[in-house]
Amino acid sequence: MTRRALIFDVDGVLIDTDRSFPNVVISAIQWWSRFRLGMKTNARPFTREHYDITKNHSAFNDDYIIAWTFLSYIAALDKKGLSECLLTPGEWEEIIASCSLGDPVPWVRQNFGERIPLKEFRNLCDEIYFGAKTLEAARGREPSFITMRGLWNLERPMLKIHWTCLGSPVGIYTGRSRAELSLALTLLGWTDLPPEACVTLDDGIAKPSPEGFRKLEEILRFDEAIYFGDTKSDRLAFEGYGKGRFVPVGPLLGNGKGVARDLPEALARQFPNLQQIL
């Protein structure tokens, strides 16, 4: 008998991040432009539409890299104010289209230079996401940039049932760090999901690499997987793995046939017997 596992992405699938990570990206760009680049923050050049376009590029699964990429572009323009850095979402899409690498960092440095220290910038994004109260527990340090309530507080679970109710082995393949994932599992009530069943950025594996599925296959010992994802990088990662099927969830993958509105709908389509508890 075929042993099947259910593998989930987190952001936009298990957790509603509509008000968290997009705003982390926008806030980090505005903050760094003002306090590190010395620019007038008289406009908001990066919008939610810019975010969605970048997120749906296969190389930009990491939200902090999305913010760093756009900020690097701004820094390379060497303008005095953000109002001089405006471009349409379509123009931004054309710029990032030339990035064909799985890891966009070398492409960014080659095209926009190295004016934004990546590690320090990631620390800023961490502080915006976790907030001052949660940062010390998550990262073991006090904030260096801001003291605000973490935007993770705006997240909501997209599934109300426990993972053990799904009737199959469950795993997670996410671009989150372990600390970020811990917050998501708390919201879901899944804190008892074994850590080894979760592949995160801290494991040195990032989508669109299929290696996360291969690692989970070794641990969960399944023959094929059903992967629920919401971006092109999710789809490409699973296509590289190739054992099972990819289930598209959410608006980033369009409104075509087979794309579920949310995770409960996706699960109900795959497993009609779960409809009564979803």
Q: Where does a domain end: 118, 152, 186?
A: 152
Distance, in Å, from the CA atom of 224 to the CA atom of 49, rounded to the nearest integer, reads 35
Query: What is the CATH number for 160?
Result: 3.40.50.1000
The predicted pLDDT at position 258 comes to: 86
Nearest to 57 by CA among 188, 221, 233: 233
Q: What is the pLDDT of residue 29?
A: 98
> Helix 48-55 to helix 89-96 angle, to the nearest 10 degrees?
30
The whole domain housing 177 covers 4-17+155-274
DSSP letter at 59?
A: T
- The pLDDT score that the predictor gives to residue 274 is 85
Q: What is the pTM of this model?
A: 0.93
- Residues β-bridged to residue 172: 8, 198
73 and 181 share a domain?
no
Quote the number of domains for the chain. 2
Among 104, 135, 152, identify where a domain stops: 152
Task: Spell out the residues 6+ positions from residue 104 whose beta carbon is closer than 8 angstroms to its own.
Answer: 59, 60, 65, 69
- Give the span between the Cα atoms of 235 and 1, in whole angstroms: 26
3-state SS, residue 131: helix
For residues 143 and 221, state if they share a domain. Answer: no
Contacts 24+ apart (CB under 8 A), 129-138: 129/20, 129/21, 129/24, 129/180, 130/179, 134/183, 138/179, 138/180, 138/182, 138/183
Residue 100, pLDDT score: 87
* Residues 242, 205 share a domain: yes
Strand blocks (E) in 210-274: 224-229, 244-248
pLDDT of residue 132: 92
- Does 26 lie in the same domain as 148? yes
pLDDT tens series, the chain, 278 aa:
789 999 999 999 999 999 999 999 999 999 999 999 999 999 999 999 999 999 989 999 899 999 999 999 999 999 999 999 999 999 999 999 999 878 899 999 999 999 999 999 999 999 999 999 999 999 999 999 998 999 999 999 999 999 999 999 999 999 999 999 999 999 999 999 999 999 999 999 999 999 999 999 999 999 999 999 999 999 999 999 999 999 999 988 877 778 999 999 999 999 998 887 88
Q: Are residues 25 and 147 in the same domain?
A: yes
Please give the pLDDT value at position 1.
76
The string of DSSP letters for 12-25 reads TTTEE-TTSHHHHH
The DSSP secondary-structure symbol of 61 reads -
Check: CB of residue 25 under 8 Å from CB of residue 167.
no
